[in-house]
Amino acid sequence: MSTTRQTDEKRTPRAAGAYDHRAIEAKWQAYWDRQQTFRTLNPGEPGFDASRPKYYVLDFFPYPSGAGLHVGHPLGYCATDIVARYKRMRGFNVLHPMGFDAFGLPAEQYAIQTNVHPAITTRANIDTYRRQLKMLGFSYDWSRELATCFPDYYKFTQWCFARMFEAWYDEACAWPGPDGRRVVGRARPVAELEQQLSSGAWSVDATLGIVRAPAADGNRAWSELSPAEQREFINRRRLAYIDEIPVNWCPALGTVLANEEVDNQGRSERGGHPVYRRPLRQWMMRITEYAERLLADLEDLDWPEPIKLMQRNWIGRSTGAEVVFPLAGAFSWQDGRWRTRDGRPIVGRELYFHQDVIRIYTTRPDTLFGATYMVLAPEHPLVARVTTPEHRPAVDRYVETARHRSDLERTAETRLKTGVFTGGFAINPVNGERIPVWVADYVLMGYGTGAIMAVPGHDTRDFEFAKQFDLPIIAVVRPPDAWIHEQITTRGVDEDYCRRTGRARLPEQLLNSASAAAGIIGGITAQDATAVLDGDAGWVNQVAWPVYAAGPGIFHEAYCGDGVGLNSGRFDGLPTPEFKERIVGWLEEQGLGRGAVNYKLRDWIFSRQKYWGEPFPVLHGEDGETIAVPDDELPVELPQMENFRPTPVADDEHTVPAPPLARAKEWVSVTRGGKTWTRDANTMPQWAGSCWYYLRFIDPHNEHRFCGAEAEKYWSPVDLYVGGAEHAVLHLLYARFWHKALYDLGYVCRAEPFAKLFNQGMIQAFAYRNARGSLIGPDRVAHRGEDQFFDSQTGEPLTRIVAKMSKALNNVVNPDEIVSAFGADTFRLYEMYMGPLDASKPWNTQDVPGLYKLCNRIWRLVVDVDTGELSPALTDDAPDEAALRLLHKAIRKVGADIEALKFNTAIAAFFDFVNGVTRMERRPRGIIEPFVLLVTPFAPHLAEELWQRLGHSESLAYQSWPAYDEALARDPEVEIAVQVLGKIKARIMVAADADEKTLEAAALADPAVREAIRGKTVRKVIVVKGRLVNVVAS
């Protein structure tokens, strides 16, 4: 990329006082460093001023990639720096730190390619980032810098993990949080649980459930459990636990792949090797226990509503029921009661807990009578049990192919549904009917119970599936008549389905009657349909309705809304909500089900089979016991390894990954108290370090605690957190979860970490597309005129489009070049002036000189370019009213815009001010000095230099923000528009505070308005004070 501005050498001799961004920026950056201008004190430190309010403004810290910063990164940093500098000037103690998210996959992959250790490349990358960030003049307190990959940091990431490993979730615990709010559910130390149990206060039931009472009625005391059972009991409840979870296992690469690394053929993006979706032992975080609190606490956060909505959808709370469908081979329904195969009657809730049942979750228990088949996810443990021998080959084949498909692909609604019959049957518990059990991949193991009752009459996916495999479809909800009518009149009847299922006569009959009733067919409109209904309600009742009730498959879609119960025995006629309530009650009585809340949110897979991450601070014993490494032995340092690659193994899905750490033999094996233990060879995901870095910034050098309690209490929460919307769900949800766990355990004093969140947009870049749709980078594009572009190699015409900056497109803009040519202040102003902070917008280097010009113009307000002295136009005279109005408008606008994070319009106000002052022959200091203060947050180097030249000896970083006078910030007279019937006919000048009557009179007196309403009667006059008058006349 080349910038168009000429270099200094090419220009004619520089005037002595020209704006020299290089000298100024170097000077002030050195000054800030030397003076430690932005060093922030913690409570308790000498000089800390407790009388000031605090403000914690934080950026999403960057991942230091090898490419260095591109112009997209600093967008948010410019914004937070403006806020940080502004808040300091408003008298706040400001915490504004920066650090690096330095563990992770890209560093490891780069290291594998180049054979340079990730620790080395990461350090070098951090150095580059730091240099670039300092170059931009951000007011970070660099003494608080941290990186997640340094042992003094990850020592406490491991400490947090150990706390979660040693915690269990007590969902029944109701307690007042330290901030006074009542919370239900709490992570508590495992030791507390063990104490309750071993003291005999609590006991254990047959399914290893907690009984909050001493042992009785078959419940066992803790001491009666075997050590293995005790361990199992505890492990099942830990916040951090180990479980078998399906992952993308690629034996040829020796590693587990991210979904994005797997192509849609089920092969690895890199190398095209087979990938198997198979369960592997993984560390998991029990985030699902926090689903309800993560959802509820969203309410009070000052976050963008769309982000909250995305988190709500992600958590995906639904209410419904869990219901068991007994397997037909194991149970029967005879003489009004359930019996085992050998005829023994079932008692109590035995069925509900029995293993020979299919447990399903449904949000629509009111449609239980419409369940005509069941579907198990291919991974469901019951698949093997229900499949009959003659169906086994087909089922096995199906399960095998399903393993290669991603969840995304499996649930895509465009895809043709697939599935196979297992040969097995279950019994519908509400009516005792035998229904077939299928396996299909549109059911996911990870959601609900991994099995569904299929109600094809009232669920879109089941409806499609049933039609495809000719499974029975029955109606159990009566839709509103209008729905049936609309189906007939707009979408028509599924003739093909009717023919196949031998219902040929029914639609004919239906349509004939419809036409008889309506008098028209085919071309009927939706409005007409209503009229037809009104005219002959009997038609729907007598013809269309019975036909639908007999077979809802006649239409092209299922009715999925609420309605009235039908074909449901004694529940017939109940409206959906009441039906749900009643049937859940009945299921509970019968021991066949219960009301349930379900979440889409899944537990968090917390291990990676990678080298460059935090080692787990745990030891595995030979007998299956896992213990946390004692705190005083932390950190468990990542061993130095020459070879940090994964180990490829034979292409056999049953192989097990050997993470790189497993090869560090001396590191892995540990002896404790005569026993041999093994370290965990997995590492934590990159999210781990970023889940609590905002806490470490508060007290980054504390060797004893992740963060001092007093400092945490003072600085929490983060008042403003700015970063890209691509983190809307995952990082922000994981961090909230992590924070709540620390909160429950008493380590932090607030339930939420980030009070206000703002999502910056993405900076894009122009790219070019040829007629075949290929993208061409700007380096290969020739311009002709303003808007014609050609491929410089082939001569083909190209169209300009906006695309993500990427190395592949060669459209990445590096801030170093921009800063070198125009300076950091121009760079900051340009980034902020591009548009609203939250919008994505294309970088256009052509526009940068406009902001450079602004810097020059501001410079010349103070400095005489020829001499380098103060400008002769600068006077000590009292400013006149016009000058004061200019200033006070600017103060009001800039302050309000910074508070609202609308930096682009704040800069427009700078232009307005400068345009105004440029026209003035004499420039009173009384308006120039305050204006320099306004500019400070945006262009701090320029402002510091001007401030000094204006005769001030101290940095203006802590000068008070100027105040404005409301009377001077508003014009005394305003122009308002006068409309007649919404069309503007005149503009009149009136006093700004003129009342409605005055405005109306002035408007009606205007000649143009009188002309427009001549001969008409004025019906109404709408007056909006200070805005417009609209005369309605006819």
Binders of RNA among residues 916 to 935 (CB under 7 A) are 918-919
- Stretch 433-472: interaction string toward RNA, x if CB under 7 A: -------------x--------------------------
DSSP letter string, 908-947: HHHHHHHHHHHT-SSEEHHHHHHHHHHHTTTSHHHHHHHH
**Shorter beta-carbon distance to RNA: residue 154 or 833:** 833
In the list 49, 260, 299, 622, the residue contacting RNA (rule: CB under 7 A) is 260
Smallest separation, CB 800 to RNA (Å) = 8
**SS3 annotation, 285-311:** ECHHHHHHHHHHHHHHCECCHHHHHHH
**Shorter beta-carbon distance to RNA: residue 172 or 730:** 730
Smallest separation, CB 682 to RNA (Å) = 8
Contacts with RNA: how many residues (CB under 7 A)?
104
Which residues inside 597-636 make contact with RNA, applying CB under 7 A?
Answer: 600-602, 604-605, 607-609
Q: Which of 930, 921, 922, 968 is nearest to 952 (CA)?
A: 930
Contact at 8 Å (CB) between 429 and 349?
A: no
Q: Tell me how far apart the alpha carbons of residues 524 and 485 are, in angstroms, rounded to a whole number.
A: 11
Smallest separation, CB 501 to RNA (Å) = 27
Binding segment (CB under 7 A) for RNA, from list 131-139, 256-264, 332-340, 644-652: 256-264
Which residues inside 318-337 make contact with RNA, applying CB under 7 A?
Answer: none
Question: Is the four-CA dihedral 335, 338, 341, 344 of positive or negative sign?
Answer: negative
**Shorter beta-carbon distance to RNA: residue 147 or 386:** 147
Smallest separation, CB 251 to RNA (Å) = 14
Residues 306, 312, 318: CA angle, nearest 5 degrees: 145
Which residues inside 821-880 make contact with RNA, applying CB under 7 A?
Answer: 833-836, 839-842, 844, 846-847, 849-851, 853, 856-857
**Shorter beta-carbon distance to RNA: residue 262 or 518:** 262
Smallest separation, CB 987 to RNA (Å) = 5
Binding segment (CB under 7 A) for RNA, from list 234-242, 335-343, 970-978, 994-1002: 970-978
Contact between 294 and RNA per CB under 7 A: no
In the list 49, 50, 226, 408, the residue contacting RNA (rule: CB under 7 A) is 408
Q: Which of 412, 461, 375 is nearest to 264 (CA)?
A: 412
Binding segment (CB under 7 A) for RNA, from list 181-189, 292-300, 594-602, 666-674: 594-602
Contact at 8 Å (CB) between 705 and 658?
A: no
DSSP letter string, 20-47: -HHHHHHHHHHHHHHHTTT--PPTTSTT
Which residues inside 1015-1034 make contact with RNA, applying CB under 7 A?
Answer: 1020, 1022, 1024, 1027-1028, 1030, 1032
How far apart, in Å, do the first and last CA atoms of the chain sit? Answer: 63
Contact between 414 and RNA per CB under 7 A: yes
C-alpha distances out from residue 348 to 332, 738, 914, Å: 16, 40, 83
Contact between 401 and RNA per CB under 7 A: no
Contact between 912 and RNA per CB under 7 A: yes
Smallest separation, CB 61 to RNA (Å) = 9
DSSP letter string, 543-557: IIHHHHHH-GGGSSS
Smallest separation, CB 410 to RNA (Å) = 10
In the list 116, 258, 521, 878, the residue contacting RNA (rule: CB under 7 A) is 258
Backbone angles phi, psi at 722, to 5 degrees: -120, 130
Contact between 760 and RNA per CB under 7 A: no
Smallest separation, CB 105 to RNA (Å) = 4
- Stretch 982-1011: interaction string toward RNA, x if CB under 7 A: xxxx-x------------------------
Q: Tell me how far apart the alpha carbons of residues 464 and 400 are, in angstroms, rounded to a whole number.
A: 23
**Shorter beta-carbon distance to RNA: residue 407 or 631:** 407
In the list 533, 976, 994, 1009, the residue contacting RNA (rule: CB under 7 A) is 976
Contact between 690 and RNA per CB under 7 A: yes
Buried b (16+ CB within 10 A) or exposed e, 258-270: eeebbeeebbbee
Taking phi over 0 as left and psi of -120 to 50 as alpha, with beta for the rest, 951 belongs to: left
Contact between 157 and RNA per CB under 7 A: no
Q: Tell me how far apart the alpha carbons of residues 761 and 313 are, in angstroms, rounded to a whole number.
A: 22
Smallest separation, CB 664 to RNA (Å) = 19
Which residues inside 769-828 make contact with RNA, applying CB under 7 A?
Answer: 786-787, 802-804
Smallest separation, CB 181 to RNA (Å) = 26
Smallest separation, CB 716 to RNA (Å) = 22
Smallest separation, CB 101 to RNA (Å) = 5
Residue 375 CA to its chain's centroid (Å): 31
C-alpha distances out from residue 336 to 47, 426, 431, 590, Å: 81, 17, 10, 12
Please, which residues have CB within 8 angstroms of residue 768's CB and are 6 or more apart in sequence?
775, 776, 777, 778, 780, 781, 789, 791, 798, 799, 800, 801
Contact between 316 and RNA per CB under 7 A: yes
Which residues inside 708-727 make contact with RNA, applying CB under 7 A?
Answer: 725-727
Q: Quickly list H helices, 403-504.
A: 407-411, 460-468, 481-486, 495-500
H/E element, 968: helix 966-969
- Stretch 100-139: interaction string toward RNA, x if CB under 7 A: -x--xxx---------------------------------
Question: Is the four-CA dihedral 363, 368, 371, 373 of positive or negative sign?
Answer: positive
Locate tokens 């939250």: which residue? 838
In the list 36, 114, 223, 313, the residue contacting RNA (rule: CB under 7 A) is 313
Contact at 8 Å (CB) between 232 and 192?
A: no
Q: Tell me how far apart the alpha carbons of residues 301 and 201 are, in angstroms, rounded to a whole number.
A: 40
Binding segment (CB under 7 A) for RNA, from list 43-51, 344-352, 682-690, 884-892: 682-690
In the list 256, 517, 883, 927, the residue contacting RNA (rule: CB under 7 A) is 256
Q: Tell me how far apart the alpha carbons of residues 320 and 340 are, in angstroms, rounded to a whole number.
A: 28
**Shorter beta-carbon distance to RNA: residue 662 or 908:** 908
Binding segment (CB under 7 A) for RNA, from list 86-94, 187-195, 198-206, 400-408: 400-408
Residues 421, 249, 400: CA angle, nearest 5 degrees: 15
